[in-house]
Amino acid sequence: MLADHSTEVAYVYNLLDEESGISGRGTYIIDPDGIIRSIEVT
């Protein structure tokens, strides 16, 4: 779980609506090699 008060992480993972400044919620499963295996955005 991560708190992203500055929205930097939301921007990197393309969850930030830049017009409104509101970020969506996303769950990313990343394996030990750094490969994203699953993404769920709500």
For the segment 1-42, what is each residue's pLDDT rounded down to a tens digit? 888 999 999 999 889 998 999 998 889 999 999 999 999 988
User: Residue 29: its pLDDT value, please?
Assistant: 95
User: Residue 31: its pLDDT value, please?
Assistant: 97
User: Residue 1: its pLDDT value, please?
Assistant: 81
How far apart (Å, rounded) are the C-alpha atoms in residues 26 and 11?
Answer: 12
The answer to whether 27 and 40 are in contact (CB under 8 A) is yes
The answer to whether 24 and 9 are in contact (CB under 8 A) is no
What pTM was estimated for this model as a whole?
0.62
How far apart (Å, rounded) are the C-alpha atoms in residues 36 and 19?
Answer: 27
Helix, strand and coil percent figures for the chain, each rounded to 5? 10, 35, 50
User: Residue 42: its pLDDT value, please?
Assistant: 85
User: Residue 32: its pLDDT value, please?
Assistant: 98
